[in-house]
Amino acid sequence: MSERSKQRRPATFRLDDPGVVVVDSDDPGRPARGTVQITPEIEPVQLPVALDVPVLERRGFRWGALFWTSVAGLVLLGLGLSVTHLIEDLFARSEGLGYLGAALAAAAAVALAAVIAREIYGLARLATIERLHRRATEVLLSDDRAESRAVVTDLLRIAHQNPRLARARAALTSHTDEIIDGADMIKLAERELMTPLDAEARRLVSVAAQRVSVVTAVSPRALIDVLFVFVASLRMIRQLARLYGGRPGALGMISLLRHVIAHLAITGGMAASDSLIQQMLGHGIAAKLSQRLGEGVLNGLLTARLGLAAIDVTRPLPFTSLPRPVLADLAKDLLRKREEEE
């Protein structure tokens, strides 16, 4: 059995001591006797950096898109031929009926073009707000002064149609030529323009949550509850989008609802948090409420959670200098309303 080597005792030395020798870790040589060997560690900047190689997905021909495009084209051609045959039949019966049918078809075509233009405008407006939110987030990180002025200019252009922001627009415009850093300019724009809008958004979400809570508590059918919650949620999202400058149409609402649901999935879903449930139980509210009232309160909380996600999606600026509304505050308002009604 081999003897254990004696452990080296701790010692102090100076770096300029001639007995201190710096050697590489891969040096096979051995220092002289009585010298202190120091092996430098590799600096983090010298370590190899793992690069994420993008995976190129080979996307083949999209047969599904071709199928739905062909079906839509056939449906439009069928509708056009049907209208044409209808007008020809009307002319065959009476010239007056033919002109009436042609006039109605022209009015329908003009209305359809107006609807399509409005949908395109709504989608473009929502895309502009989304890009503005992303640009403001990038400015907060880069502190770019020129880009911050461009973001504020676009934000003032969107807020120009809101009369309640007239004083805030004037105050913010007076600061655009001053020497202010990029991130500070974004924070200033948020304080000036978003403060009244955030207060109104919180009120809209609170009113929608209270309305859902009351209706679902007294509703006799579950189907009525589902329909009312769905309609109230769509109305709340549309109001929030209009409040922050969006003009969503039917297609815009579908896109906005998809973004809100995706945001909910990222931020934790529609379930109430454990701290909120503990708060409800700690105040003894769960013992005071009946089963129907408890279901109403839960539906109201879920509606409020959906409203908070809609605020994050429709707001043109990220939350930086202003506090983000949380579910606990809206829950206190909702539970206080339920206690007053009792």
pLDDT of residue 107: 93
Would you call 105 exposed, middle or buried from its count of C-beta atoms within 10 A (0-12, 13-18, 19+)?
middle
* Neighbouring C-beta atoms of residue 132, cutoff 10 Å: 20
pLDDT of residue 283: 44
Specify which residues 78 forms β-bridges with: none
pLDDT of residue 322: 86
| Cβ atoms of residues 311 and 278 within 8 Å | no
Q: What angle do CA 331, 190, 211 make, to 5 degrees?
A: 25
Instruction: List the chain domain ranges.
Output: 194-341
pLDDT of residue 54: 43
Cα separation, 271 vs 287, whole angstroms: 21
pLDDT of residue 193: 87
DSSP class of residue 192 equals: I
Q: Report which of 172, 174, 173, 209 is spatially closest to residue 194, judged by C-alpha positions.
A: 172
The amino acid sitting at 4 is R
pLDDT in tens, the chain (342 residues): 444 445 556 666 666 666 666 666 666 566 566 666 666 665 544 444 444 444 444 556 678 888 888 998 999 899 889 989 999 998 888 888 889 999 999 999 899 899 989 988 888 888 889 899 999 988 888 888 888 888 888 888 888 777 788 888 888 888 777 778 888 888 888 888 888 888 899 889 988 888 888 888 777 777 887 888 888 888 999 999 898 888 888 888 888 888 888 877 766 544 444 455 444 544 445 444 556 666 777 777 888 888 888 888 889 988 888 888 887 767 666 666 555 555
Structure token digits, residue 141: 């990180």
